[in-house]
Structure 1
Amino acid sequence: MGSGAPSRLVDLILGGKLDALRHDLPELPELDNLFAPEGPIRDAELLAADAFGAAKTWMLANGSTCGVLASIIACVQWHNSRPGGAPLADAPAGSGGGRKSVVILPRDAHKSAVHALVLSGATPCFLPPIRHPESGVGLGVGTAELKAALKEHGDEVAAVFMVSPTYEGACSDVTSAAEACHGAGVPLVVDEAHGAHLAFLGEAQPPPSRPSEEEEEGREGKEEEEGGRDKQGGSVFASGGTEGDGGGSGGGDDFSIERAVTDALATVQSSSPSYLLLASLDAARWDLAGATKNAKRRLREAALIADGVREELSSVEGINVLDLGGESGSAAGCVGTDPLRLTVSFEGGVGGYEADEILIEDFGVYAELPGPDYVTFVFGPGSTVEHGQRLAEALRHVALPAQKRCAHTPQVGIPALLPGEAITQAALDALAAVKESGGVISGCSDATLATMRVVVDLVPSERR
């Protein structure tokens, strides 16, 4: 927009300065083309791939959502291109006389994964998430259940999709999942929208991504030798990038997953990407993987601050600090937790939604994710000791009232009901609990939940 930007936008958001908007440029020859990069975007993607240890990286201008969409769509297209699959022109999958394409994924995956199933025509195989035995927080999918699903569906499996870490910071056993998928010749797609920073936390990072002391020294030596590439998960919005191993040749025309991802991204991303967003991605990578290691240092300091708050709150009556990676969590399949995330619940006190309201109105503290039973907070490179003390004080205040808590219900972005899924009493109770506790429900035909849109009545007439 430049000098022609609306004055209210400039005054309200930019403090009367046009500096940022002067860089809000279109696809100029000097700025490269996101969908056919040959210049600075290509260089930025190569640097990002090196920083994250990937063979290939695609910059995303439409957030992690388009990365999830493109990854699943690409895997289904690649699956269809292999011998026995449906012809690529015969979408959706399975409509051209070939085998159907099955995607194995947890039932509590983000709704973008469900949208990808719809767009690709894939058939879902939902796996029930393992839940923390004490808090009910989802911990991902068990390896045994994944192996059983791979065996059951065999050559029909187009991809396995999993989320690690979760909103609450629970990390799944991705290593074992990858071994199972690779052994079956199936691509593994991992939604790591909340974990871009984990590889840069040093000793604070959860396994299995934590490097050995020798690997850490080698990585830092390489960064210094190559002029430094430090990264910080601090791009504008959750823009992020999609990483891949670049492998997987397909049918006779050598249709690869890499090509399929490139094609899918051209379909789901904006054809006019924001270069401010793209620049923020490259800046975040530089800040995390650059010579100064500035963001890496700040992230590790933030982890120490978060640990201090956990320790302080652990002795406060009425507050439960959830240790998802503790003994009970590990036994349930959680291999580690994000040290920058803090999840608390209240004994006999308010539920998560009401706690969130109190925190905002009385203290100006905003949670990353309020749930019906707990509240999750995130520390970052800008967090200070004072921020931690302010949060601890606010949570002490919230723990004082004693009110009825709500039952476990769905989280933000995770559908309670899917199109074509049976409407159960448990699902209705969960939605009602969210509504009664002050949560917002989207996607329903009747926001009051007084009525539901029924496609097929599964109850026999004689039982009505």
Structure 2
Amino acid sequence: METPIADFVSAYLQSGVSRLHMPGHKGRGPLGCEQLDITEIAGADALYQADGIIARSERNAAALFGTAATFYSAEGSSQCIRAMLYLSMLHAPSGGERPVIVAARNAHQSFVLAAALLDVEIVWLWPEDASFSLCRCSVSSRQLEGALKRLSRPPVAVYLTAPDYLGNTLDIAALAETAHRFGVPLVVDGAHGAYLKFLPHSAHPIDLGADLCCDSAHKTLPMLTGGAYLHVSPQAPADFIENGKRALALFGSTSPSYLILQSLDLANRHLAEDYPSRLAACAARMEVLRAALRDNGWRIAKSDPMKLTFAAAESGWDGKELAMLLRQEKVECEYADPDFTVLMATPENTEQDFTRILSALGRNSRQKQILRCCPTLVPMETGCSPREAVFAPSESVPASLAAGRILAAPTVGCPPAVPVAVSGERISQSAVEVFAYYGVSSVQVVKDL
């Protein structure tokens, strides 16, 4: 497969042209990558008005993912999430009323902030299972149908996160069928699942019925941090394609990183060659590792194929304590909280990486489950809209004293960047308990005027 962006930059480097343009390093510097770092010079195309090498590369990506269109982001899935919400609004004008979106509660904070910027009302789908985790939100098609029936007017979209930070997946096909039956697009934050397309049987949201989906390519594919895709399904409304670049430009920098664009471009060739076979081999290796860990007394939670999610508390450990144990043996995890420790693998990991995990953990010396559990978060009263809360004067207060105050800004870092309370909600006592459980010591609240 051709790599037009990378080929152009390579040819420009070989030409020896004097760089009387940005960036200021002029192709020289201590990192060693500066020579490949250019800007939108003649022939390099322009990301948000692409009709040359970038457009060709994006068409290659669309062919690989089987989409009607795939657009590049050099600013991660956060940019794509904002764009997807904007596209949903453009597609379904609200007639002067605040647009409504139905969303699973484990949404990334970038979604909440996008809703604030665009003044969108969120109707939350809360998890159906009794065991609460900040990252997880089980949603069924039956639950979604009930939520859609209760609304007085159709939402602009249904918004889901799949896979989530723990590797849980949803029945996207059934949820898509339900949303479409009500004439509503399905939008998926698939930041952790770009690789799902390349499994022996694709589990990618676009193939399961989603209309729009974003992938953080850098999370699971071999490319630089910040590289992401905005995918439009072949069955999606045509205006999603027509307005895709416009939506991304609204939230993106006019100086996109050409290092990231080259990385996305070169990944197309990688994905078109031996990546699927290497991915299948890695998935098989992960299954062998899970089986060995279970044999050694470790509880392993169900997850997508490339995540290794330890049910730490069920194994007798605090998740962060388990992460420290791994770190001592040169294994750095992706995420840890009191209940779970998450490791993410790709075909780029070596056999040494897998053997180190077993070596670090050995046989689990603690067989008794930790009985404490995360407090259950219950729906909170809405004090004002997300937009009003985000743009109101605010102050930081101890989380333990925040009950009754209106949250101004999300207060959970990344990972997992899933808010406990959402901007505009009046913080409940249950939220205060969840803040304490996850180690959130202070929150930003709307000032009492």
2:50 aligned to which of 31, 37, 40:
37
Query: What is residue 366 of structure 1 aligned with on the other side?
Result: 332
Per-residue deviation, 1:133? 5.4
Count how many residue pairs are aligned between Structure 1 and Structure 2: 376
What secondary structure is seen at the aligned counterpart in 2 of 1:145?
helix
Residue 318 (structure 2) pairs with residue 351 (structure 1): yes
Are the aligned partners of 2:310 and 2:341 in contact in 1 as well (CA < 8 Å)?
A: yes
User: Quick one: distance in 2 between partners of 1:454 and 1:358?
Assistant: 42
Query: What is residue 218 of structure 1 aligned with on the other side?
Result: none
1:177-225 Cα shifts (integer Å, max 9, x gaps)? 211222222121111111111121215x6599899xxxxxxxxxxxxxx
Equivalent residue letter for 2:277 = R
Are the aligned partners of 1:127 and 1:141 in contact in 2 as well (CA < 8 Å)?
A: yes
Residue 431 (structure 2) pairs with residue 427 (structure 1): yes
Are the aligned partners of 2:315 and 2:366 in contact in 1 as well (CA < 8 Å)?
A: no
Query: What is residue 246 of structure 2 aligned with on the other side?
Result: 263
Query: What is residue 275 of structure 1 aligned with on the other side?
Result: 258
Query: Kindly tell me: are residues 345 and 277 of structure 1, through their superposed partners in 2, closer, same or farther at Cα, counting changes over 3 Å?
Result: same
User: Quick one: distance in 1 between partners of 2:261 and 2:438?
Assistant: 37
Query: Kindly tell me: are residues 373 and 273 of structure 1, through their superposed partners in 2, closer, same or farther at Cα, counting changes over 3 Å?
Result: same
Q: Return the TM-score normalized by structure 2.
A: 0.76
Query: Kindly tell me: are residues 405 and 73 of structure 1, through their superposed partners in 2, closer, same or farther at Cα, counting changes over 3 Å?
Result: farther
1:37-73 Cα shifts (integer Å, max 9, x gaps)? 1111000111111110100111111101100011001
Query: What is residue 243 of structure 1 aligned with on the other side?
Result: 231
Q: Which runs of structure 2 are paired with 1:14-29 in the superposition (5 Å)?
A: 14=31, 18=32, 20-29=33-42
Are the aligned partners of 2:135 and 2:416 in contact in 1 as well (CA < 8 Å)?
A: no
1:394 aligned to which of 360, 369, 372:
360
User: Quick one: distance in 2 between partners of 1:3 and 1:137?
Assistant: 41
Equivalent residue letter for 1:161 = Y
Equivalent residue letter for 1:271 = T
Query: What is residue 415 of structure 1 aligned with on the other side?
Result: 419
What stretches of structure 2 of length at least 5 have no aligned partner? 1-22, 209-219, 376-411
Per-residue deviation, 1:145? 1.3
Are the aligned partners of 2:44 and 2:53 in contact in 1 as well (CA < 8 Å)?
A: yes
1:251-270 Cα shifts (integer Å, max 9, x gaps)? xxxxx233333222111011
Query: What is residue 294 of structure 2 aligned with on the other side?
Result: 314
Greater alpha carbon shift after TM alignment, 409-418 vs 398-407: 398-407
Per-residue deviation, 1:272? 0.5
Query: What is residue 444 of structure 1 aligned with on the other side?
Result: 443
User: Quick one: distance in 2 between partners of 1:134 and 1:65?
Assistant: 25
1:123 aligned to which of 116, 121, 124:
121
Are the aligned partners of 1:200 and 1:296 in contact in 2 as well (CA < 8 Å)?
A: yes
Residue 279 (structure 2) pairs with residue 299 (structure 1): yes
2:78 aligned to which of 41, 61, 65:
65
User: Quick one: distance in 1 between partners of 2:197 and 2:322?
Assistant: 32
Superposed CA RMSD in Å reads: 2.9
Q: Percent identity?
A: 29
Are the aligned partners of 2:104 and 2:126 in contact in 1 as well (CA < 8 Å)?
A: yes
1:381 aligned to which of 347, 350, 353:
347
Query: Kindly tell me: are residues 41 and 6 of structure 1, through their superposed partners in 2, closer, same or farther at Cα, counting changes over 3 Å?
Result: closer
User: Quick one: distance in 1 between partners of 2:152 and 2:343?
Assistant: 40
Per-residue deviation, 1:129? 2.4
Equivalent residue letter for 1:351 = D
What secondary structure is seen at the aligned counterpart in 2 of 1:202?
coil
User: Quick one: distance in 1 between partners of 2:87 and 2:207?
Assistant: 30
Q: Which runs of structure 2 are paired with 1:80-229 in the superposition (5 Å)?
A: 80=93, 85-86=94-95, 98-131=96-129, 138-153=136-151, 155-202=153-200
User: Quick one: distance in 1 between partners of 2:323 and 2:372?
Assistant: 14
What secondary structure is seen at the aligned counterpart in 2 of 1:170?
coil
Q: Return the TM-score normalized by structure 1.
A: 0.74
1:88-114 Cα shifts (integer Å, max 9, x gaps)? xxxxxxxxxx23311000111111111
Greater alpha carbon shift after TM alignment, 37-46 vs 142-151: 142-151
What secondary structure is seen at the aligned counterpart in 2 of 1:118?
helix
Query: Kindly tell me: are residues 367 and 131 of structure 1, through their superposed partners in 2, closer, same or farther at Cα, counting changes over 3 Å?
Result: farther
Query: Kindly tell me: are residues 365 and 131 of structure 1, through their superposed partners in 2, closer, same or farther at Cα, counting changes over 3 Å?
Result: farther
Are the aligned partners of 2:37 and 2:258 in contact in 1 as well (CA < 8 Å)?
A: yes
Per-residue deviation, 1:130? 3.7
User: Quick one: distance in 2 between partners of 1:234 and 1:287?
Assistant: 8
Equivalent residue letter for 2:283 = A
Query: Kindly tell me: are residues 366 and 322 of structure 1, through their superposed partners in 2, closer, same or farther at Cα, counting changes over 3 Å?
Result: same
What secondary structure is seen at the aligned counterpart in 1 of 2:255?
coil
What secondary structure is seen at the aligned counterpart in 2 of 1:176?
helix
